Amino acid sequence: MSGLAPGILRIPTRGDGDNCFLVTDEDGLTLVDVGWKNAPTVIRHALEAEGRRLEDIRRIVITHAHPDHVRGLAELVTRTNADVLIHEQDAPWLAAGRVPRDGRSGRLGRTIDRVPLLHWQPVTATATVADGNRVGALRVIHTPGHSPGHIALLHEPSRALLVGDAVFHRGELATGPDALAADPAVRNASYARLPRDVTAVGFSHGAPLLGGETDHFATWLAGAADSAG
């Protein structure tokens, strides 16, 4: 666990590579994504180290309904009674407990979605969110393509950006595998929607970029947006 920006903690839930984020809001804690099935226990330990409890989580925002983000969700909802928020285009996936057959552009993606280990206990969202909505201190940015309802979140007080799976940072910045995205062309077009004047970038997969390191992100994003036309 480490600070991403004032008011935001990064909690690695598997090794140091898969992250969820905890945002302190005036009315309680907002969790961004959950993780695999082990994540609720990891999150509980992280909260206890801060002198907080799992029950302090007031709402859980899901960047998109992929198993590595939501497999631990049902258990966490049971333990926290938190509200669950997701974009309306991913809400049916979350409620179905799996990525649908047309949810990935490539055969590899469709094949792995048949594996029971990549299904999850269905969760009905408390409410859906749309582009421009505010969730506590976070502003929703709809960035479709990785999934139809994928969202990034901008923490307005600090201008830290949580990109979900819109951009991966495993060693280097990358779009992620096309076969696992619902629509790679739509994903690439979404890069123009992400702000570049940010103070920190939190990735669901990989190490964060802080301070001056965000220049590298801005440059990469400009190139990705340009090549998408």
Contact call for residues 164 and 125 (beta carbons, < 8 A): no
Nearer residue to Zn ion within complex by CB, 137 or 149: 149
**Which of 111, 116, 115, 229 lies closest to 177 in space, CA to CA?**
111
Nearer residue to Zn ion within complex by CB, 76 or 137: 76
Nearer residue to Zn ion within complex by CB, 68 or 90: 68
What crossing angle do the helices spanning 39-49 and 73-80 adopt, rounded to 10°?
40
The least CB distance from residue 186 to Zn ion, in Å, is 14
Under 8 Å CB-to-CB from 48, ≥6 apart: which residues? Answer: none
Tokens representing 131 are: 């582009």
Q: What residues line the site for Zn ion (CB under 5 A)?
A: 66, 68, 165, 204
Tokens representing 196 are: 């570049």
Burial of 121 (0-12, 13-18, 19+ CB in 10 A): middle
The least CB distance from residue 68 to Zn ion, in Å, is 4
The least CB distance from residue 66 to Zn ion, in Å, is 3
Nearer residue to Zn ion within complex by CB, 66 or 155: 66
Pairing verdict, β 168-170 and 172-174 = antiparallel
The least CB distance from residue 146 to Zn ion, in Å, is 6
On the CB side of 164, CA atoms within 13 Å amount to: 34
The least CB distance from residue 27 to Zn ion, in Å, is 28
The least CB distance from residue 147 to Zn ion, in Å, is 7
The C-alpha angle 1, 116, 126, rounded to 5 degrees, equals 60
Nearer residue to Zn ion within complex by CB, 190 or 204: 204
Q: Which residue is nearest to Zn ion (CB)?
A: 66
Whole-number Å distance between alpha carbons of 173 and 158 = 22
Nearer residue to Zn ion within complex by CB, 23 or 167: 167
